[in-house]
Each structure stands twice: as structure tokens, then as C-alpha cells.
């Protein structure tokens, strides 16, 4: 902390992070304060830059899949999907139907546990000291058990491949997902009932961190943060990748673009995920999950490029691949939704108290593995 000048409205420059209880990882903000009001905020990151892109360019297309798990480390299944979608576009690889349904099931389970975790972390930032997080993690552990029995690992699943998924799921596993899915609406009700109407939550989040429609679109914000500002853009509906056009689900939109709307987005999207899961579990067909003729090792796509994107729980996760005809990608680029959503952090926090910075950051939903790659 450095005091720059004194007088009416002392200017203080505070460096929040990289080790801070509420910065969601190794993230730093250089905040210039006048008293308690923010006059300038510059995000600084790169503390977790593990040069994922260079490592992926050194290896083959297949060997990048475990590294994609570690991008947004809470949602490894959707990261896998974004990458294999890009490779499938690049090389023109078809995907069997059962694999598409399994992908939707694990992606929606991922979305559910991510949003539950986010509400827990946001409430912890507000001072609720761990209790909502305990509820969220209780459900998350059940979902991770399912992932572990399916793919072998709780968090870094490494489950999808271009052309399908790695192994087929059993009928018992589907039955377990059905039973869990039947209990999830009650969990969302319980979770919401604990928090709805909470005075501190309402007072701190309503009207804080407001993001306007135009700025959100121009700054490339995607995901629940964009929809909280009232823009109807969900890539599951726009691109209709996979088999998402077969499911009936709504896209919740917010009116004010403040932290409360973003929090409500997550709750509503959790309910929509439950609906999609119900439909997917009902309609999943039998069949293979991978075409045996698909080449995994030694895949040599024709020279060219492709951009594939999905709606990950954080926003638009895209992978841009340039192939030069060899086994390794020439250029491998990740579109990190968390980093791009941070572009307007300063705009949302100017003129507010420093306490509001913490919850505004919490509502952006960043994961440093994705911001820094």
C-alpha cells in the first residue's frame, strides 16, 4: 500500500493479490482508491501461465486432450468437448449419436456443479464463511463420483475423444444419473430457499457491478454474465452443436446486469440443466460411441484451420486450430471466456466501494487456469 497524496479524498494504491482470500486463485488487481471508492482498477494475471498453447503445439492432437482438462479445472468435461469439436471440424470427423447424448449428459452435469460451486464461492466472498459452499460441494461430490465411475478420475476426466468418447457408459451408470437427477431439483430449491430474501445478499448485490448491454457485447462478454445483461446469446441455441437442437430448454435473461442478476442466472441455469438431463436420459439411443475407423494417434488433418466453440459454464470456450498437414497442430489457440470477461472489470467497479470489487469479481466467475492458460 502506498499513499500518494493526502487531502480531501486520500489516494491510495492497493495491490489486491495474488495471494488473497477472495481473488479466486492467483489473480491480482491494482486498485487506486480515493477513500473507499475505486478510481482505477487494473487486473494483472499471468501467475498461472503454464504455456498450455506451446505444449499443445509440441505434441500431437491427441496428447493435448489431458491438458485441456486443466484449463478450467472445475469443468474438465466441457473443456474436452470444446477441443474435440474443433478437431472434428478441422478434420471432418463424424460423431455417433450415443456419444453425442453422453456428451450432453456430462456437460450438463458439469454445468450444474460449476454453477453450484460459483454460488458457494460468491457467498463466501460476501462473508457467509463456507456454509453455502458446503452445500454446493455436497452435490458436487455426488457428481464427481459419477464422473469417476465413468472416466476414472474425479476432476481431470480426459474423457472425450475426437469422434466420440473414450468408453461407453453402462446402463447402471445411466440409472444412477437418473436417480441423482431426480433429487437435484430439491437441492436447488433448498439452496435457493436458504439464500432467497437474505438481506445481506440483496443489499450487497442489487445494483452492484452493473454491466450495460452495449458494453457487454462490445467487450466480448459471453456466458451467464452476458445473459444477465439481457442479451439472448447462448451458443447451444445459436450454433446448435452436438444434439442440443433436440432438447427443449429456455435461456434465462436478466434485466439489470448487476451481481444479483448474475447470481440468479446461475440458479436458473441449474434448473434448465436438470431439464436437459431429463430429456437426454430419456432419449439416449443404443449404439457405438466411437467409429473404429477414426484415427486417434497419428491424426494428420489436411492443411487448413478451424474454429470450434461451445457454451461452457463460464462462457464461449473456443479452440482455434491451424493444421499444416503434420501430426502436430501448427497453431493451437484457446479462447478463454474468463479472461475476456475480465476486460470490463474496471468499468463495472469504477465509483464503487472496494468491498463491491470483491463480489463483482466473484460474479464474473473466473478460473485462473483458463485466464492464464
Nearer to another protein, 102 or 361 (CB): 361
Cα–Cα distance for residue pair 104/122, rounded to 1 Å: 27
Q: Which of residues 90-119 bind another protein (CB under 8 A)?
A: 90-92
Q: What's the grid cell of residue 239?
A: 450454433
Q: Using CB under 8 A, which of the segments 64-72, 96-104, 193-201, 261-269 binds another protein? A: 64-72
User: What letter would DSSP give residue 327?
Assistant: S
Stretch that binds another protein, among 67-75, 106-114, 193-201, 291-299 (CB under 8 A): 67-75
C-alpha to C-alpha distance for 243 and 98, rounded to whole angstroms? 10
Piece in contact with another protein (CB under 8 A), picked from 166-174, 176-184, 282-290, 334-342: 334-342
User: Per the structure block, which three cell numbers stand in for 53?
Assistant: 498453447
| Rounded-to-integer distance, Cα 353 and Cα 35, Å | 9
Which of 9, 152, 302, 326 is close enough to bind another protein by CB under 8 A?
A: 302
Helical packing angle, 171-195 and 259-283, nearest 10°: 160
Q: Which residues, in sequence order, are CB contacts of 195 under 8 Å at separation 6+?
A: 119, 123, 132, 201
Residue with smaller CB distance to another protein, 211 or 280: 211
What are the φ/ψ torsions at residue 52 (nearest 5 degrees)? -60, -40
Give the position of cell 461430490.
141
Residues in 233-292 at the binding interface with another protein, rule: CB under 8 A = 233, 238-239
Restricting to residues 192-231, which ones interact with another protein according to CB under 8 A? 215, 217-222, 231
Which whole-number Å values give the CA distances from 356 to 28, 48, 277, 337, in the listed order?
Answer: 16, 25, 35, 22
Nearer to another protein, 160 or 231 (CB): 231
In angstroms, the CA 157 to CA 67 distance is: 11
Q: Is 134 in the site for another protein (CB under 8 A)?
A: yes
Q: Indicate whether 180 belongs to the interface with another protein (CB under 8 A).
A: no
Whose Cβ is closer to another protein: residue 14's or residue 281's? 14
Q: Which of residues 28-47 bind another protein (CB under 8 A)?
A: 45-47
| Between 96 and 120, CB nearer to another protein | 120
Q: How far is the CB of 278 from another protein (least distance, A)?
A: 26
Q: How many residues bind another protein (CB under 8 A)?
A: 73
Residue 133 is a binding residue for another protein (CB under 8 A): yes
Amino acid at each position: 500500500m502506498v499513499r500518494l497524496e493526502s487531502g480531501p479524498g486520500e489516494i491510495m494504491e492497493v495491490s489486491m493479490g495474488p495471494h488473497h482470500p477472495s481473488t479466486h486463485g492467483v489473480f491480482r488487481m491494482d486498485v487506486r482508491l480515493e477513500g473507499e471508492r475505486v478510481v482505477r482498477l487494473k487486473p494483472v494475471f499471468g501467475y498461472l501461465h503454464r504455456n498450455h498453447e506451446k505444449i499443445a503445439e509440441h505434441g500431437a492432437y491427441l496428447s493435448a486432450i489431458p491438458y485441456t482438462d486443466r484449463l478450467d479445472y472445475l469443468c474438465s468435461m466441457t473443456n474436452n468437448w470444446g477441443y474435440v469439436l474443433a478437431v472434428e471440424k478441422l478434420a471432418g470427423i463424424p460423431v455417433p449419436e450415443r456419444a453425442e447424448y453422453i456428451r450432453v449428459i456430462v456437460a450438463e452435469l458439469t454445468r450444474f456443479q460449476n454453477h453450484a460451486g460459483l454460488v458457494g464461492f460468491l457467498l463466501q466472498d460476501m462473508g457467509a464463511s463456507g456454509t453455502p459452499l458446503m452445500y454446493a460441494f455436497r452435490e458436487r461430490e455426488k457428481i464427481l463420483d459419477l464422473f469417476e465411475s465413468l472416466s476414472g478420475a474425479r476432476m481431470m476426466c480426459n474423457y472425450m475423444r475426437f469422434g466420440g468418447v473414450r468408453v461407453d457408459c453402462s446402463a447402471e451408470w445411466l440409472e444412477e444419473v437418473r436417480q441423482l437427477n431426480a433429487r437435484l431439483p430439491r437441492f436447488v430449491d433448498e439452496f435457493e430457499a436458504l439464500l432467497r430474501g437474505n438481506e445481506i445478499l440483496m443489499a450487497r448485490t442489487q445494483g452492484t457491478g452493473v454491466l450495460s448491454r452495449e458494453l457487454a457485447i462490445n467487450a466480448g462478454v459471453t456466458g451467464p454474465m452476458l445473459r444477465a445483461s439481457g442479451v439472448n446469446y447462448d451458443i447451444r441455441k445459436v450454433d446448435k452443436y452436438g444434439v442440443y437442437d433436440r432438447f427443449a430448454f429456455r435461456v434465462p435473461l436478466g434485466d439489470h446486469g448487476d451481481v444479483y442478476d448474475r447470481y440468479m442466472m446461475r440458479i436458473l441455469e441449474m434448473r434448465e440443466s436438470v431439464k436437459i438431463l431429463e430429456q437426454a436420459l430419456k432419449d439416449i439411443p443404443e449404439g457405438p460411441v466411437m467409429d473404429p475407423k477414426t484415427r486417434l494417434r497419428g491424426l494428420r488433418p489436411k492443411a487448413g484451420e478451424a474454429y470450434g466453440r461451445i457454451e461452457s459454464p463460464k462462457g464461449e470456450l473456443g479452440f482455434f486450430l491451424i493444421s499444416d498437414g503434420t501430426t502436430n497442430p501448427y497453431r493451437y489457440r484457446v479462447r478463454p471466456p474468463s479472461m475476456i470477461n475480465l476486460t470490463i472489470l474496471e468499468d463495472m467497479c469504477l465509483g464503487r466501494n472496494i468491498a463491491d470489487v470483491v463480489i463483482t469479481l466473484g460474479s464474473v466467475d473466473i478460473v485462473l487456469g483458463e485466464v492464464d492458460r
